[in-house]
Chains A and B, each alone.
Chain A
Amino acid sequence: MAKKILLAPVDPVHDIGLKMVNRGLREAGYDTVLLPPDLSTEEIIQAIIDEKADTAVLSRTLGYGVANLLARFVDLADAAGIREKVRIAIGGMAVRPELAQELGFDASFGPGSTVEETIAFVEGKEFIKDTNLSRKQARDMTEGYSYKVKHGRIGELLEKTTDMILAWTEGKTSPGVERAILRDELWDVNKWRGGQPTTGFFSEYAGLCDEIVRNYYEKGELHPKTRRFTDKDVEKLRAHVERSRVDLQTPSIQHTLKKPIIFNQYGTGCPYMDIAHIKASEAYGADGVVHFDPSWGARTEGFFDGFLTHQEDGTVITPDNLMHICESLEKGTLWQVRAHRGLNTPETVVLAGKLGAHLTKINICYGSLGAGTEPARLTVDGVASIRYAAKYKLPFDVVTNEELCGVPAYKAFAGMLIVAHLGAALGGRSILQPLFCYSPEVMISGQMEDNYVDFNAAKITALRSIMDAPIWPGAPIGFLTQDEDRVQSSTTTALHTGLAAMLGVDAISIASSDEAYSGGPITVPSKVDTLRSAAESFRFFGQSRMELGRNAVQWSEEIVSGIESVLEQVVEKGDFVQALYDGILGNREDGAYPGRNGLNTVTQK
Chain B
Amino acid sequence: MKTLVIGIAGTAKNTGKTTTLSSILKEIKKGPGLSLALTSIGYDGESFDNVTGLPKPRIHVRPGALVAVSERGLLFSSAKLELIREAGVMTPMGKVVIGRVVKQGKLVLAGPNNRRELRLVLDQLEALGVDITIVDGALSRIAPMVEADALVLSTGASRCREIPRLAEESGCMADILTTPALESRGRVEQVASILNQAGFNAFFEKCLAADTVRIQGVIGEKLLAMIADRSAQLVGKHLVFGDPMKLLLAGEIKSVHRILDTLEKGGIRVGVEKQVRLLAVTVNPYFPKYRYNKGDYEADYVDKDELLRSITESVRVPCFDVVAQGGQGVFGELMRFRDSF
Contacts and interface: CB of A to CB of B under 8 A. Distances in A.
* Contact between chain A and chain B defined by CB under 8 Å: yes
Interface of A: 42-43, 45-46, 49, 62-64, 67-68, 71-72, 74-76, 78-81, 83-84, 96-108, 126, 242-243, 246
B39 to A, nearest CB: 12
B199 interface: yes
B52 A101 contact: no
A269 to B, nearest CB: 29
The residue among A68, A79, A96 with the most chain B CB atoms within 10 A of its own CB is A79
B93 A126 contact: no
Give chain A's interface secondary structure class: helix
Given A71-B139, A99-B50, A79 B75 contact: no
Nearest to B216: A81
A107 B110 CA distance: 14
Contacts of B142: 75
A68 B43 contact: no
Interface string B177-204: 0000000000000001101100100000
B220 interface: yes
Given A43-B195, A75-B143, 4 more contacts: A68-B139, A80-B195, A98-B92, A105-B92
Contact of B43 (A64, A74, A81, A101): A101
A83 B91 contact: no
Interface in B133-184: 138-144
A116 to B, nearest CB: 17
Contacts of A64: 51-52, 290
Contacts of A45: 193, 195, 218
A80 B217 contact: yes
A94 to B, nearest CB: 9
Contacts, number: 122
Interface stretch (B60-68, B112-120, B302-310): B112-120
B193 A72 contact: no
Nearest to B221: A42
B261 to A, nearest CB: 21
A424 to B, nearest CB: 48
Can you list the 5 inter-chain pairs with the closest CB atoms, starting with the nearest? A78-B143, A100-B92, A102-B43, A101-B43, A80-B217
B280 interface: no
A101 B51 contact: no
Range class of the B interface residue count: 35 or more
B41 interface: yes
Contact of A97 (B12, B93, B195): B93
7 contacts: A42-B195, A42-B196, A45-B193, A98-B43, A101-B113, A103-B138, A246-B75
Contacts of A96: 50
A79 B116 contact: no
Contacts of A49: 192-193, 195
Interface string B204-225: 0000000000001110100000
A579 to B, nearest CB: 59
A509 B217 CA distance: 62
A102 B216 CA distance: 26
Interface in B282-341: 290
Given A97-B92, A102-B42, A106-B92, A75 B140 contact: yes
Contacts of A42: 195-196, 220
A99 B217 CA distance: 26
B118 to A, nearest CB: 10
A102 B70 CA distance: 12
B12 A105 contact: no
B245 interface: yes
Nearest to A40: B220
A101 B290 contact: no
Contacts of B43: 98-99, 101-102
B72 A246 contact: yes
Contact of A71 (B90, B140, B195, B242): B140
A30 to B, nearest CB: 21
Nearest to A100: B92
A59 to B, nearest CB: 15
A75 B220 contact: no
B273 interface: no
Contacts of B91: 101, 106
A67 B51 contact: yes
A101 B93 contact: yes
Given A78-B115, A104-B42, A98 B50 contact: yes
Contacts of A78: 114-115, 141, 143-144
Interface string B4-35: 00000000110000000000000000000000
Nearest to A89: B92
A98 B193 contact: no
Given A78-B115, A79-B217, A72 B140 contact: yes
Contacts of A68: 12-13, 139-140
B249 interface: yes
Given A75-B141, A100-B92, A106-B92, A80 B218 contact: yes
A104 B93 contact: no
B246 interface: yes
Contact of B110 (A72, A80, A101): A101
A242 B75 contact: yes
A79 B245 contact: yes
B138 A71 contact: yes
Nearest to B113: A104
